[in-house]
Chains A and B, each alone.
Chain A
Amino acid sequence: MQILIYGYGNPGRQDDGLGVELVKRLEEWAVETELADIEFDKNYQLNIEDAEAISNKDLVIFADASQEEIEDFCLSRVAGNTKVSFTTHAASPGYVVELCKELFQKDPHVMLLHIKGYEWDFKEGISDRALDNMEKALSYMKIVLEKPDLVLKLNNKFKTC
């Protein structure tokens, strides 16, 4: 199974860097545990070229900071959507999925890991509360990545949003 774990956000804006930090830590863990067939990527935001990047994967998990009213973290299935905002130069996960389907005729299983954040100023460093949430998400993701086929088969038993 080809897997991509992709964190995005701006680490220069405190908790906005949650997704990037999680992927950095997961990548280190994957090297230590010699987990194969998992690709890791990080960027400030998603964009249209990511439609090509996910097109040759079976499972994609995007990781992003969240302002939603969630306790710590949760996982949701990403459905394709066509909405693009007015001038933003970023794309939503759903938009990337839809573009992948239309341009490359591929439909990978795509999930979004939402990690609760609190602080968004011009500083490096994630707040303590957000870091706790990320640690919980990290532990969870390690379990997921040891048996990734479960994500595909038992989607609704995971910690869904």
Chain B
Amino acid sequence: MSQKITIEPVTRVEGHGKVTIHLDDSNQVTESRLHIVEFRGFERFVQGRPYWEAPVLVQRLCGICPVSHHLAAAKALDVIVGAGTGEGLTPTGEKMRRLMHYGQIFQSHALHFFHLVSPDLLFGIDADPAIRNVIGVALEHKDLAVQGVMMRKFGQEIIRATAGKKIHGTGAIPGGINKHLSPEDKELFLNGPELQNIDKMLDWSTGVMEFFKDYYSKNQSFIDDFASFPSNHLSLVRKDGALDLYHGVLRAVDWEGNKILDDVDYQDYEQYIEEEVRSWSYMKFPYLKHLGPKKGWYRVGPLARLNTCDFIPSPLAQAEFEQYKAVTNGKPNNHCLHYHYARLIELLHSAEMMKELLNDPDLMEGELVTKGTKVNKGIGLLEAPRGTLFHHYEINDDDQLTRVNLIVSTTNNNEPMNQSVNSVAHSWMDGKAQITEPMMNAVEVAIRAYDPCLSCATHALGQMPLEISLYDAKDRLIDQKRT
């Protein structure tokens, strides 16, 4: 019988996640690791380029979350051009950027939940992979799948309207923004077609929140227990402790809620955060300096943000936040799959913030750019969909970039993802000498909770398969599977 091999052209330069699991003589898991195997030194590539190119250049890094890199770079350059460290922009400059950012968060969270997570929830980890995807969701829950598509489209349109274009957007510039929101776009987003306006997005965001809570009430032990472990949590918070995805000060709490970092100006991040290199992974392992690499690692992203903040400054999301906090009696939430719960609260918050901003007259008029006195170093942080994103730039007197350091969200979550893989390996693979499809997916589900962007973390492009290898006590490869 003939065999047909189809090669899709989209699989080009490929980065991939690789999990290795080692067993002892009785097939008990002794060690598991998530390796990130593709690396390209992006930071070195941009050295020597004029600093003002950075917000566009960094979009080369990743075609998946270019807006986050675009804005973090622009925030760092605000400092370099003397426009202040987050509070110095004009109202129009800051609010247009915030709208762009909430559009990015909204589309990214919608995509992640509907496209990648809902199949696991609706069909189960051990369901047939042939139906465990969004096509399967479309067949059985068409409304949910359509909502995911239209919410993602809405977020993308917000990005187009604020960044200027889909590819290599130029909206954010050092010191501000290069355009106002057009009256046509404002009208479209506020009063556009029924399935494409902000009220419908709010409606659907509330609906998917209810969907998840209903699922949680019926599957609480699975959601609570899967790959659950204590950790520190780090994010930006507003000065008054509010959730703020665009700007704030650094705060970290431990697994019990004690503040282990608070009110830190992120221009000083190097005093508090260090990155460890391990021989088996190209992705670094960040940690809080004063606690050291063993105790100082932390989670970032939606779960961490809702653990570090005191409240959410939008009414619908705040009401959900109160219910969410009650689950853990006000203490930090250390349940891995509660990332999804937290992500949906942020989805709702983003919809509320977009509506507020779209009704703000500052978006339609006012000064766009702040000018000041140039300095040679600037650091920009923001809360990207996947967590805290660090951009650090230094320039010389010829305005060329001399030093660039990026700590992307997925890198911040490196140790937690490894911990999650380890937890799943013990639960699902102890006593087994073969990798089954449900085991593969259990590992994926644990990693997927963090919504990692391996493209960002490894600077690769193309598809991101996962390879799992199983080794016996003599370090011989006994099984290997690839998604």
> Bound pair: A and B?
yes
A-B contact count (CB 8 A): 146
Q: Is B152 an interface residue, CB under 8 A from the partner?
A: yes
CB–CB A84/B133 < 8 A = yes
CB–CB B59/A68 < 8 A = no
Given contacts A44-B167, A122-B40, contact A86 B9 (CB under 8 A): no
Chain A residues contacting B431 (CB-CB under 8 Å) are none
Chain B residues contacting A52 (CB-CB under 8 Å) are 149-150, 153
Chain B residues contacting A13 (CB-CB under 8 Å) are 13, 60, 461
Chain A residues contacting B135 (CB-CB under 8 Å) are 82, 95, 98-99, 102
Contact of B10 among A11, A64, A103 (CB under 8 A): A64
CB–CB A84/B115 < 8 A = yes
CB–CB B10/A92 < 8 A = yes
Considering the complex, give the chain A residue whose CB is closest to the CB of B63: A44
For the complex, what is the distance from the CA of A123 to the CA of B45, rounded to whole Å? Answer: 9
Number of interface residues of A (CB under 8 A): 45
Number of interface residues of B (CB under 8 A): 60
Chain A residues contacting B112 (CB-CB under 8 Å) are 89
Given contacts A10-B461, A87-B452, contact A103 B146 (CB under 8 A): yes
For the complex, what is the distance from the CA of A51 to the CA of B452, rounded to whole Å? Answer: 24
Q: Is B66 an interface residue, CB under 8 A from the partner?
A: yes
Point out which of A45, A48, A86, A120 has the most chain B C-beta atoms below 10 A from its C-beta. A86
For the complex, what is the distance from the CA of A114 to the CA of B11, rounded to whole Å? Answer: 12
Min C-beta distance of B152 to chain A, whole Å: 5
Considering the complex, give the chain A residue whose CB is closest to the CB of B441: A86
Min C-beta distance of B100 to chain A, whole Å: 16
Contact of A65 among B12, B152, B447 (CB under 8 A): B12
CB–CB A49/B115 < 8 A = no
Contact of B130 among A11, A82, A87 (CB under 8 A): A82
Given contacts A64-B9, A90-B64, contact A47 B111 (CB under 8 A): yes
Contact of B464 among A42, A64, A65, A85 (CB under 8 A): A85
Q: Which of B71-79, B137-145, B292-300, B422-430 contacts A (4 or more CB under 8 A)?
A: B137-145
Considering the complex, give the chain B residue whose CB is closest to the CB of A43: B166
CB–CB A90/B10 < 8 A = yes
Given contacts A64-B9, A87-B447, contact A47 B63 (CB under 8 A): no
Contact of B57 among A12, A65, A89, A120 (CB under 8 A): A12
CB–CB B138/A103 < 8 A = yes
CB contact list, B117-158 vs A, under 8 A:
130, 133-136, 138-139, 142, 145-146, 148-150, 152-153, 156
What sequence of 0s and 1s flags, for each residue 41-70 of chain A, a beta carbon within 8 Å of any chain B beta carbon? 011110111011000000000001111100
For the complex, what is the distance from the CA of A9 to the CA of B332, rounded to whole Å? Answer: 40
CB contact list, B28-62 vs A, under 8 A:
40, 42, 45-46, 57, 59-61
Chain B residues contacting A131 (CB-CB under 8 Å) are none
Chain B residues contacting A33 (CB-CB under 8 Å) are none
CB–CB B9/A66 < 8 A = yes
Given contacts A44-B166, A48-B152, A86-B466, contact A112 B9 (CB under 8 A): yes
Binding site for B on A (CB under 8 A): 9-13, 16, 20, 42-45, 47-49, 51-52, 64-68, 82-90, 92-95, 98-99, 102-103, 112, 114, 117, 120-123
Additional pairs, 7, CB under 8 Å, beyond known A88-B455, A120-B461: A10-B59, A11-B167, A20-B167, A86-B17, A89-B65, A89-B455, A94-B8
29 A-B pairs in the complex with CB atoms less than 8 angstroms apart: A10-B461, A12-B57, A12-B61, A44-B66, A47-B156, A48-B115, A48-B149, A49-B149, A49-B152, A82-B130, A82-B133, A82-B136, A83-B133, A84-B134, A86-B17, A86-B447, A86-B466, A87-B17, A87-B447, A87-B453, A87-B464, A94-B8, A102-B145, A103-B149, A120-B461, A122-B40, A122-B45, A122-B61, A123-B45
